[in-house]
Amino acid sequence: MSWTVSAAAFETKATSAFVIDQSTGTVLLNKNADLPLPPASMSKLMTLYMAFEAIRRGKSDGGLDLNEELPVSEHAQSFGGSSMFLRSGESVSVEDLIRGIIVLSGNDSCVVIAEALSPDGTEAGFARLMTQRAQQMGMTNSTFTNSSGWPAPGHLMSMRDLALLAHRLIVDFPEYYPLFAETEFAFDNRVPSNRLNRNPLLTMGIGADGLKTGHTEAAGYGLTGSAKQGDRRIIFVLSGMESIADRASEAQAVVNWAFRQFAMRPLATEGQEFARADVWMGAEPTVGLVAPEDVSVLMPALAERSFEGEVIFSGPVEAPIAKGDQLAELVFTLDGLPETRLPLVADRDIPSGGFVSRMTTAAMVLFNQLIAGPEGAT
């Protein structure tokens, strides 16, 4: 039986968007996701990733310590826009700087981190490292000219790259990811009105727990976000919204759509047989092709729970065969989702056949060649 109901498509107002179900790696929405665009403050996520890597390395290995204090330069103090309101000549702990970047979106705090980790002590030198590291991580549509996302020619990221970066932050640094859910940070009580996180989703009760907003005149309003409900987590990136209100409502709509229109459903139980394959020169003539474990898949929430798929393998399979050897793939496509491929394995050990088995197989091959004639044999 084929699927009769597909997930309703999401018509986003964003000029560029990417939504992925992190639990399965399934792309739910792709709109100009590989187009490099000005990322604004969302590119601060790359500065944070490199700061977390430096903390993990430790100060003795050229990295950072959470408790160490870094000096604030005149260059760092000179930045406008979102800020921690740092003063040139003072020193601030790495932990406060990181919270200042995440919660307050501080351009000045980014520069302090950048200058500390730069090979030449400059923000530009750190930006070159950012670009190199991004390429290593597979973010091929990202180029950085500064640490904060301050508007500059050539400072670009794609929405897919931002989603990949968000995924890596969540997976690689689970000890620091909870910082992204902090709703306020009153640094030194310096500017009491400047303490709230700009992420509008954190207080909506929809499972949102990160990551970063952004805004420039060229890029409009954007958001790299993540939300978790039950065992599912989604990552989404939007860019090009026209206002703060549009960004909030569109992001909330994306989260609701992703969780309501798609659901995890059981596909197979461990040992469930999907097909049988002929065995060549084996002690048994066929082997079962079974699921290696319980398998669930993401599917349109309103779809029927049966599907049509295709088992693909090269046969006959030559003995000996060990139980658990991957011999085939189950391939199927659900409406509104990309193709899914699941491995199928042998359900038992099948040793090579004895003398009688080998002679029987050879006789069958010879008989089939004689039946086919010269053309068939060739």
Burial of residue 23 (CB within 10 Å: 0-12, 13-18, 19+) is middle
Which among 60, 142, 65, 135 is positioned nearest to 98, based on CA atoms? 65
Number of Cβ within a 10 Å radius of residue 141: 17
Q: Which position among 31, 44, 147, 226 bears the catalytic label?
A: 44
First to last CA, the chain: 40
Whether 352 is a known active-site residue: answer no
Closest alpha carbon to 292 in 348, 350, 345: 345
Active site residue 31: no
- Cα 137 to Cα 47, 209, 239, 350: the distances in Å are 14, 23, 22, 43
CB neighbours of 118 closer than 8 A, spacing ≥ 6?
124, 125, 126, 129
44 in catalytic set: yes
d(CA 213, CA 233): 19
Catalytic site residue from 16, 41, 73, 83? 41
Which residue is catalytic, options 43, 82, 105, 226? Answer: 105
Instruction: Give the angle subtended at the CA of 256 by the CAs of 253 and 257, to the nearest 5°.
Output: 85
Residues annotated as catalytic are 41, 44, 105
